[in-house]
Structure 1
Amino acid sequence: MPTDRIARIRIDSVRLPLDTPISDAKVLTGRQRPMTEVAMLFARIDTEAGYAGLGFGYSKRAGGPGQYAHAREIAPELLGEDPNDISRLWDKLVWAGASVGRSGLATQAIAALDVALWDLKAKRAGLPLAKLLGAHREEVRCYNTSGGFLHTPIEQVLENADEARERGIGGIKLKVGHPDAAVDLKRVAAVREHLGDGFPLMADANQQWDRPTARRLGRALDRFGLVWIEEPLDAYDHAGHAALARALDTPVATGEMLTSVAEHAALIDAGGPDVLQPDAPRIGGITQFLKLAALAEHHRLALAPHFAMELHLHLAAAYPGEPWVEHFEWLEPLFNERLEIAGGWMRVPDRPGLGLTLSDRVAGWTTDSYEVTG
């Protein structure tokens, strides 16, 4: 078969509005403002033979324009290249912008292009992405986060939990980290009583506790039988997370805010956590996620990728251990397709690639576009 070549690249900056301003512990403690939109970065890569791949990344609150600007600068590096050589192309892109680093915004801009290349490769093979990677399962356990934010009154949280269960979602995550710890304990107790002892329940503090508070509240939360306590400490307090994981009966989860494989490796080397929560768009895409997944498997860590279920479902399905995937309906308006959920599980689509096409609404949210051919 003759070698195909990349002939066209399109980059779109999209501002996705949220129906309700979102507040977690970082807002209640004054560190951030409520979130009103998600900045999306979309990439489409076309080849001379007529194949096309769709990829995306994102940023919350700030950083979207920076990701878009960097992607525009480096995207032409892909023109004329063989799209099969994804790992080599990732290296080429990261070195094209090496002066701004190999993590953070620089590699997050690469993520959309990297995901598009993997989507393209799977489509050329006629396989869902999970199958191309080597799936271990056809469906993945899923839990809902969007119904349990701190701005949501507890009565509404309980209604949201019921709606999630009726949809077939298999777990509920509740935000904690309120300035008044008694509020946290009261809300967790109410949700646990409502769900019953056997239903999977997680708690997420969004980095808002110091070490003494995390130990004290972690021990208080042990009695609720949580699946995990998420981000109890600053994301870069690797030693603190490791020490807390040893001190508590409840597993400790973290990793979503880290922006490279190297940062995750440092977390793992420190001895924690029990559950790793990488985010493929934040660490540079699928190419980097696969490296991290191999490292996590080597250390026998549980895996629960953060956000972007439309992408992470495929990656979680290819993990040897039994993973979780996070249900957020926020990105659904961007796509024509919906993921199938039943009995606590999210099913891997049988469509080639990611199995996604952009909805007509995306054009109205697009703030800038860039296209290059060669």
Structure 2
Amino acid sequence: MASLAGLVSAVRVDEVVLPLQRPVRNGTAFIAQREYVLVTVETVDGATGTACALTRGAPIRAMVEDFLAPRLIGQSAFNLQNAWQDNYRAGELFLGRSGAFIRALSLIDIALWDLLGAVLERPVAAILGGGGGSAPVMAALGYYQSDADGRIIADLDRLTEEYVGFVERGFRKFKVMAGGAPLTVDVERIRAISSVLPPDAELAVDVNGAWSTAAEGLRFLDAVDVPFSFIEDPFRPDNDSALRRFRAQSSAVVAVGEWESGIHRFRSLLGDGLADVLRIDATACGGIGEWMRIAALASAYDASIVPHYYPEIHVHLAAAVPGVDAVETVPVETGADNFDELLTHSAWAGGASATPLDTPGFGTEWDWERIRHVR
């Protein structure tokens, strides 16, 4: 076992662009490729930890290499909480409490937790106090299929077959995209999906901030007339006024948080009564420690948690925190995800329930040969 006195000797950043086999669209964006950034922290005694996330077009590499890495080199790799606090305080005033800086800080923190798990030879879930419990998996399906020019391709047979296939595999929690097509098209799609789901299945809808006014959301609910487990990101994250009006005029369960960073913003959302479900993303909110602090805040407000994407990370957090309703996955069958191309082995089983594997750190085995080839 490497010494816990190990000092950080290097921070490496790799960027990878992987084209999707077929373009897709969510509520607001046409997606033809996925851009990933991997951050690896190495100690003088050769131990490593790695974190990976979508760049979303942000200059994360520059934030890591130019600002965070120089502050980390020579520091103890296992002084996680103090290192996070020092880096956060150094950057928050001039680089911001959201955006590229916090995403870069998140990846540094996640890589350090992965490193700690490797050194202790324990999964992150166990280090955080989690047992071997499992959480249901929510399959995010129903992405809009698009042609090369971004035009939506309507294919209800293919759409319903996608959901039926996952029902047959035991899944009972689902999500569908909306807001990226005319209302009549969304109504047709959602009703078709609802007709093939069993009575014990739940369907959430992700609008990806496509609505501008509360009236748009209310028209959608009236037209669809399908009970949703939650409506995710009905408005852009800065449009609290529309969200407040929508909450006042609707009984819909609202989920927000994937775009948010830091406990300050989540405290505001919960304190103002604007959220029922928190979509906390460890790669965006500030990392593992901040995710855990936000989860504790959610418990105080009786809000539930459905982490955003990255099941390889969030399966560990779900095992350590009560109140996680489900772990989200974007199956490769949707065409919207190609994260598996970076891996030789995933850290979770990929079924209808998620349990962290008993492997060190986050348990992700990266295909470094391929990453070096395509980076």
TM-score, normalised to structure 1, is 0.88
Higher mean displacement: 353-362 or 46-55: 46-55
2:144 corresponds to 1:141: no
CA contact (8 A) 2:38 2:51 kept: yes
- Count of matched residue pairs: 355
CA distance in 2, matches of 1:271, 1:205: 20
2:72 corresponds to 1:78: yes
Aligned residue in 2 for 1:358? 366
19, 27, 37: which is aligned to 2:33? Answer: 37
Task: Report the secondary structure of 1:26's partner residue.
Answer: coil
121, 126, 142: which is aligned to 2:121? Answer: 126
Q: Give, in angstroms, the shift of residue 277 of structure 1.
A: 0.5
Code of the aligned partner of 1:163: G
Q: Which segments of 5 or more consecutive residues in structure 1 lack a partner in the other structure?
A: 28-33, 367-374
CA contact (8 A) 2:135 2:326 kept: yes
- 1:132-185 Cα shifts (integer Å, max 9, x gaps): 112265221112114433646222111211232344433221111144212212
CA contact (8 A) 1:56 1:111 kept: no
Aligned residue in 1 for 2:218? 215
- 1:32-81 Cα shifts (integer Å, max 9, x gaps): xx212222221211223332211123223x22xx1101110121211221
Code of the aligned partner of 1:361: R
Q: Give, in angstroms, the shift of residue 340 of structure 1.
A: 0.9
CA contact (8 A) 2:27 2:210 kept: yes
Q: Give, in angstroms, the shift of residue 295 of structure 1.
A: 0.9
Aligned residue in 1 for 2:148? none
CA contact (8 A) 2:63 2:104 kept: yes
Aligned residue in 1 for 2:273? 271
Cα distance 1:37–1:93, how it changes in 2: closer, same or farther (>3 A)?
farther
CA distance in 2, matches of 1:49, 1:217: 57
Q: Give, in angstroms, the shift of residue 317 of structure 1.
A: 2.2
CA contact (8 A) 1:25 1:178 kept: yes
Cα distance 1:306–1:2, how it changes in 2: closer, same or farther (>3 A)?
closer
Runs (4+) of structure 1 exceeding 6 A deviation are none
CA contact (8 A) 1:41 1:112 kept: no
CA contact (8 A) 2:178 2:186 kept: yes
Cα distance 1:5–1:279, how it changes in 2: closer, same or farther (>3 A)?
same
- Percent identical among aligned pairs is 26
2:183 corresponds to 1:190: no
Task: Report the secondary structure of 2:296's partner residue.
Answer: helix
65, 69, 82: which is aligned to 2:62? Answer: 69
Code of the aligned partner of 2:55: S
CA contact (8 A) 1:239 1:270 kept: no
Higher mean displacement: 93-102 or 300-309: 93-102
TM-score, normalised to structure 2, is 0.87
CA distance in 2, matches of 1:22, 1:256: 20
Aligned residue in 2 for 1:107? 102
Higher mean displacement: 349-358 or 93-102: 93-102
Q: How does 1:274-313 map to 2 (within 5 A)?
A: 274-313=276-315
Q: Give, in angstroms, the shift of residue 246 of structure 1.
A: 5.1
Q: Give, in angstroms, the shift of residue 11 of structure 1.
A: 1.5
CA contact (8 A) 1:239 1:272 kept: no
Aligned residue in 2 for 1:346? 354
CA contact (8 A) 2:13 2:40 kept: yes
Code of the aligned partner of 2:48: A
Aligned residue in 1 for 2:52? 56
CA contact (8 A) 1:228 1:253 kept: yes
Task: Report the secondary structure of 1:227's partner residue.
Answer: coil
Code of the aligned partner of 1:354: F
CA contact (8 A) 2:172 2:200 kept: no
Q: Which segments of 5 or more consecutive residues in structure 2 lack a partner in the other structure?
A: 146-151
CA distance in 2, matches of 1:298, 1:318: 16
Task: Report the secondary structure of 2:16's partner residue.
Answer: strand
227, 231, 237: which is aligned to 2:239? Answer: 237
